[in-house]
Amino acid sequence: MKYIYNIIIVVFIFTGFVSCTDELTKESIGLLTLDQVESNPTITTIESSVSSSYQTLTSTLNSIVPGWKWNLGTVFRNDIVLQDIAANDMNKKWNPDGDQPWMDELADFSFTSENQAFNGIWVYNYEGINRINLAISYLTNPEVIQRAGMSDARKNQLLGEAYFLRAFYYFDLVNNFGSVPVVTTPSQSFEEAFDVSVRVPVDEVWTQINSDLSAAKALLPDVKYPDASEKWRVSKGAVISLQAKVALYNENWSKVISLVSELEELGFYSLNANYFDSFDADIEFAEDEVIFAYDHRSDETPNNNNGLRFVIGWGFFAPTDDFIAAFEANDPRLLYTVDITAGRASKIIGSTTDHTIEYGNKVYIRYADVLLWKAEALNETSNYAGAIAIINQIRSRARNSPTADGSVIPPGTLADRGSSTSQSEVKDWLMSERRIELGFEAQRFNDLKRWGTAKAVLTALGRNFQDHHYLYPIPQADIDKSGGSITQNTGY
């Protein structure tokens, strides 16, 4: 199978000081503490400090906090709960039961700030940030780089990856929680950690994200894969894509169009002929659409598999009736997303036939998503024909994909959208297309929030969504352990 690339480095981390567990501050077999690695890092240590920073994007079970810490929300990365379950596209399980009721609280918006979903995503993101901060501290120290004998090209590549990853984690934090603490250096002590545990204004978080992405873009080479032997690494295409997504979330429509056009001009990406190729575990990095994904692997130590396949095997992640009803008749994307008969979410696993594979990647950014950002920006700037053309491009690929069960798609399926000069009509088409195209990819709730439609959509479905739910609560235990220096969001 795929080979080992992770050597995990644990530092004096922000999450260890202010999260609701001290598990992250404990030294385990094979782990290094900050004082053991910073004095004279080798090339291997520096490279591993970057590689380990990808790990908080994994779906591997119990990869960040050892043990089955369901009570902390850290068994797996919770994007799927915070996005697809909260948006009423997904039920916790196919057969309702009392298992993990905290997920049900996300579904009906009965949660409090003590719900472990928020602790889980907070821990994963800040763990990633603190690992990255250690890597950046190495890579921006000329004496360390010279002593290790690292080339400028390798240093620039790794530093570009590091800046992107830090921006990625902060992007997730600001969209979930709004104002958050911004930490850009590894903490050396408990006192220093508490000094930085203060929320900064949202604008400052966005400024940090944009600064990191600009730095990353200047450092990474103009190639699809900066490292041909490790194609999972961050590329310039990933950086440009995240820049475009940041512009989208801040409604900077002209910048979205410019950045997506810049990505298109690279010539690295296109829609796969088959919709499912982006998720097929057996052709990873041999297709044309995926821009950034976490590279799961099986038969490795430490474990690096796609742990969500086990969770799915336990009966988790079923579609809601409303999600199924959103698909037009005979749309092949439904069966590729979720096999209702088998009770499996094929897109998450990475196969439509083998539900035991453990190496299906977690896709975070793909070209179809990016094209729909451009369509949205074109519509907002009154280029309705341009927006419709992209929507029809997505629909054409879908209807021309071979079906998962070999059935024949009837003529007239997913017909092209007609011409329109109504911005609201085109936006309705776009919102519908995004829900279907990106189903079960942890995008839906953020879309509803940024469109300002979350309350109308979810209350119409009987969910107890209130205005303050546009932001999730800061984990209460972090507020308590910070001594009140971290404040709570309004309404919690």
186 upstream amide cis, omega within 30 of 0:
no
What residue spans of 299-422 are helical by DSSP H? 308-313, 321-325, 333-337, 346-349, 367-380, 384-400
Beta bridge partners of 316: 93
Distance CA 286, CA 232 (A): 12
Note the pLDDT of residue 482: 87
b/e 75-110 (16+ beta carbons within 10 angstroms → b):
bbbbbbbbbbbbbbbbbbbeeeeeebebbbbbbeee
* pLDDT at 145 exceeding the cut of 90: yes
Q: Give the pLDDT confidence of 333-361 residue by residue, as tens digits.
A: 999 999 999 999 999 999 999 989 999 99
Distance CA 120, CA 289 (A): 29
Note the pLDDT of residue 29: 23
Beta bridge partners of 294: 362
What single-letter DSSP state applies at residue 318? E
Q: Which residue has the tokens 């203060």?
A: 198
Q: Give the pLDDT confidence of 42-74 residue by residue, as tens digits.
A: 999 999 999 999 999 999 999 999 999 999 999
* pLDDT at 84 exceeding the cut of 70: yes
Angle at 442 between CA 166 and CA 458, to 5 degrees: 125
Mean pLDDT for 139-144 is: 97
Note the pLDDT of residue 12: 31
Distance CA 200, CA 208 (A): 11
Distance CA 134, CA 11 (A): 8
Q: Give the side-chain half-sphere CA count within 13 A for 433.
A: 31
pLDDT band at 483 (very low <50, low <70, confident <90, very high): confident
The count of other CB atoms within 10 Å of the CB of residue 167 is 24
Three-state SS for 363? strand
Note the pLDDT of residue 8: 32
Amino acid at 89: D
Beta bridge partners of 319: 90
Q: Give the pLDDT confidence of 372-393 residue by residue, as tens digits.
A: 999 999 999 999 999 999 999 9
Q: Which of 318, 336, 316 is nearest to 327 (CA)?
A: 336
The percentage of residues in the chain with a pLDDT greater than 70, rounded to a whole number, is: 90
Note the pLDDT of residue 14: 45
**Which two three-digit tokens encode residue 343?**
């009770």
Note the pLDDT of residue 26: 33
* pLDDT at 9 exceeding the cut of 80: no
Q: Which of 322, 298, 305 is nearest to 91 (CA)?
A: 322
Measured on CA atoms in the order 406, 407, 412, 413, is the torsion positive or negative?
Answer: negative
Note the pLDDT of residue 25: 34
Q: Which of 19, 12, 8, 13 is nearest to 123 (CA)?
A: 19
Note the pLDDT of residue 481: 87
b/e 207-219 (16+ beta carbons within 10 angstroms → b):
ebbeebbebbbeb
Distance CA 463, CA 138 (A): 48
Each domain of the chain, given as residue ranges in start order, spans 1-220, 222-440
Mean pLDDT for 393-402 is: 98
> Domain 222-440 class?
mainly alpha
Domain boundaries 1-220, corresponding CATH code: 1.25.40.390
Q: How far is CA 289 from the centre of its chain?
A: 16
Note the pLDDT of residue 189: 60
Q: What is the mean pLDDT of the chain?
A: 91
Q: How far is CA 71 from the centre of its chain?
A: 22
Q: Give the pLDDT confidence of 438-479 residue by residue, as tens digits.
A: 999 999 999 999 999 999 999 999 999 999 999 999 999 999
- Which residues lie below 8 Å from residue 487, measured CB to CB, with a gap of 6+? 199, 474, 479
pLDDT band at 197 (very low <50, low <70, confident <90, very high): confident
Domains 1-220 and 222-440 share a fold: yes
| pTM metric for this prediction | 0.93
* pLDDT at 492 exceeding the cut of 90: yes
